[in-house]
Structure formats: C-alpha cells, structure tokens
Amino acid sequence: MRNTITALAAAFVLAVAGCGGDTTGEESVASAPTASPTPKTAPVEDWAALLRPHVREWGDLLKQKVEICLDSDTVDMCDDVYRSLEEKAEDIARVLTHARLKEGTPTYLGEPPDEIASLVRETVDAARQVQQAWDTYEQVDCSDSTAGDCFAATYALEGFVELLTGALDGWTPYL
C-alpha cells in the first residue's frame, strides 16, 4: 500500500512538473499525412457546449469541498465530497473520450480541432488521475488523518483535483 501511495504522490509531482512541457512529438504525429479519409471534426463551440454543464458542476463541488472540508463540524463528510468529485471527473473523462471515439452516438464529435486538441488530452488525463488518486485514497485507513499513508493519499488526491481544476480553467475562453 505504501508503494502505491508513494507512486501516486510521485505521479502527481511529475504530472504537475510536466504541465506546459514540450509537445512537439505529439504535434508532429498529429500533423503527419495519412492515407485514410479525414475524420470528422466538430467546431470548438460544440466541444465547449458538451463540457459546459460538467464545468459548472465541478465548480459547485469545489465550493462544497471548501465549505465542508474546512469546517470542523462537517469535516467527517469530506469523503463524500471527494467521492462526488471523483464521480464528476469520471463523467468528464467519459464525455470527452466518447465525443472523440464513439462514432454513431449522439455526443460523437470526432477529433477535436487543433485549437483545443491538447486541452482535451490534458483534461482527460487529469480526470483519470483524479480517479486513480481516489481509488488509492479509498484503500487507505484514514482513521488517523495524520498517519503518513493517509497524508500522502490525501495530498495526491487534492493535488490531482487541483490539476483537473486547472485543466477545466483552460476551457474558460470557450465557455
């Protein structure tokens, strides 16, 4: 368990350190000519409209987190808020992934426009990291919240929640 938590905390640090890194390899792969037909690409506005309600709900959950987790009278309900954040992160990852890959569904949009392609990847990756951090957090006994494993799992979860919040903030110009 300690190795999993340590790895999760290290993954958070690496994820944060990797933000804004060189993506030239990704861009060169995306711009390589292909013999297949051009995939469908919906406008940025359609992607933003698909994500808009989830961004609003994420913001509401963050407000709840502050109200509940920082109040000594309600701090024991903090796990419920984090569970809701994880569920919303799962929704966000699923919506964006299905929009790109699930042809034939009502929310299929095809490949994202170049303008937001890296933002879509960043958002999905951050949402999945929240899910993984929650899975680890659930496995830790936090009856003593000052225990090392609990602190590391909580720190990683909070860090990935902030990472996803940052990715969702990147959508602001489009919403």
> Which fold would CATH assign to domain 42-174?
de novo design (two linked rop proteins) (1.20.1440)
- To which residue do tokens 């969702």 refer? 168
pLDDT band at 126 (very low <50, low <70, confident <90, very high): very high
Q: Does the pLDDT of residue 175 top 60, yes or no?
A: yes
DSSP readout, 89-149? Answer: HHHHHHHHHHHHH-TTSTT--BSPPHHHHHHHHHHHHHHHHHHHHHHHHHHS--SSTTSHH
Please give the pLDDT value at position 36.
43
% of the chain residues with pLDDT over 70: 77
- The domain ranges of the chain are 42-174
For residue 19, with 0-12 CB atoms within 10 Å meaning exposed, 13-18 middle and 19 or more buried, which class applies?
exposed
